[in-house]
A and B are shown apart, each in its own frame.
Chain A
Amino acid sequence: MNFQPVLNIISLWALPFIIVLILTVGMVKKIPIYEVFTEGAKDGFKVAINIIPYLVAIIVAISMLRASGAIEMIANSLSSVLARLNIPADVLPVIFVRPLSGSAALGLFSDIATNAGATAYSTKLAAVMVGSSETTFYVLAVYFGSIGIRKFRYALWVGILADIIAAIMSIVVCSWMF
């Protein structure tokens, strides 16, 4: 089954389609689109500046954690237990890094794919893990930071639980399908 051409078309055309649709509806409704655009775009700078304190707090804390080697320590101490559950040792750090840093998770995944090879189970499992989850802490910082929310209430716990569910489901689904 080869639906890659279809996917390529969707990912190429989604963005242009949305932009043309919005501009066309604006013109049909006789909106002064240039004026309205610049009016809305003014907020871009403000929003980006607003999120800096929140990003600094979260990204510095996470950079420190990654530099300390804590993630490898946790992964190593759990490896014997998780090996029994059919989780390859090289994929373990991905589980912990994925919610913390998107670029680091993608980097880890590239390493696994290069070292283990394209057909390895590790590569497939890591691919599903990285593809099915989000960088929880970054999302929280940006979304709440943009409007100055300081108390996240239960949003953080929902995010973390979702990450745990995503990791478990990735393992279950991959061991079943591959």
Chain B
Amino acid sequence: MNYIFYGLIVLSIVIGAINGKLPDVVNSILTGAEKSVQIAFSLIGIMAFWLGIMKIAEQSGLVEFIAKLISPITKRLFDEIPPEDPAIGNIAMNFSANALGLTNAATPMGIRAMQDLQKHNIDRKTASNSMCMLLAMNTAGFQLIPATVIAVLVGIGYKNPTEIIAPTLLVTSFTFISAIIIAKIFQRFSPPQTQQSGGQE
């Protein structure tokens, strides 16, 4: 991440200078920083709402029930985590919300899952294997219905917007499964986490 952060910023300045866009690049620091805070603040309300709902789901045993339901699958993917841990239930809910395109609900569920996974993590500043797996599932972005894309297509008068659902589903399923397999392969070949040093990059 250090190299990528350095690379992105230095590359932007060098290329910006070549293109004569240096003023834009400098301005984008301010607008980017402003936008980050706006995003974070706009998340507060919906985050609070879903974290509240999720707390009810956890205390009522619903999360545990879901965890048990899908444990045959998750046992293999999250082998460091006990099969009936609330983390597993939250991961399942995060996945379902993502699949249905409910991003606002999916993110707080995913964050609950990350908090649960952190309890099993031996180095609190380094990602555990399970966290990397959850991130793999989320960055691959599995979705049953690409609602925003369909909305745009409807907006421009596309006659049959649902015809993109089948190809999208095919691509997103393939990518999702690949991401899980890739994460498993990385897990096998990356050095195991240790107390202090953590996994190396």
Chain A positions within 8 Å of B, measured between CB atoms, are: 1-4, 7, 10-11, 14-15, 18-19, 21-23, 25-26, 28-29, 31, 33, 36-45, 47-49, 51-52, 55-70, 73, 106, 109-110, 113-114, 117-118, 123-124, 127-128, 130-134, 136, 139-140, 142-144, 146-159, 161-163, 165-166, 169-170, 173-174, 177-178
Known: A18-B105, A41-B48. A49 touches B40 (CB 8 A): yes
A110 to B155, CA, bound (A): 9
A-chain residues with CB within 8 Å of residue B143 when the two chains form the complex? 131-132
Per-position 1/0 for B133-147, Cβ under 8 A of A: 011101111010111
Question: Are A148 and B124 touching (Cβ within 8 A)?
Answer: yes
From B159, which residue of chain A is reached at the shortest CB distance? A118
B-chain residues with CB within 8 Å of residue A41 when the two chains form the complex? 48-49, 51-52, 55
A60 to B28, CA, bound (A): 7
**With contacts A41-B48, A162-B175 known, what are 16 further pairs, Cβ within 8 A?**
A7-B150, A44-B48, A70-B12, A70-B15, A70-B16, A106-B148, A132-B172, A134-B139, A143-B135, A147-B118, A149-B124, A155-B131, A158-B182, A159-B139, A173-B171, A177-B167
A157 to B175, CA, bound (A): 14
Chain B positions within 8 Å of A, measured between CB atoms, are: 1, 4-5, 8-9, 11-13, 15-16, 19, 21, 24-25, 27-29, 31-33, 35-37, 39-41, 43-45, 47-49, 51-57, 59-62, 97, 100-102, 105, 107-108, 110-111, 114-115, 118, 124-127, 131-132, 134-136, 138-141, 143, 145-150, 152-153, 155-159, 161-162, 164-168, 170-172, 174-175, 178-179, 182-183, 186-187, 190, 198-201
A-chain residues with CB within 8 Å of residue B97 when the two chains form the complex? 18
Kindly provide the distance from the CB of A72 to the nearest chain B CB, expressed in whole angstroms.
9
Question: Are A162 and B152 touching (Cβ within 8 A)?
Answer: no
A-chain residues with CB within 8 Å of residue B127 when the two chains form the complex? 144, 149, 151-153, 155
Question: Are B168 and A132 touching (Cβ within 8 A)?
Answer: yes
Contact partner of A44 (CB less than 8 A), chosen from B5, B11, B51, is B51
B-chain residues with CB within 8 Å of residue A57 when the two chains form the complex? 5
Contact partner of B62 (CB less than 8 A), chosen from A3, A22, A66, A142, is A22
B-chain residues with CB within 8 Å of residue A37 when the two chains form the complex? 52-53, 55-56
From A146, which residue of chain B is reached at the shortest CB distance? B111
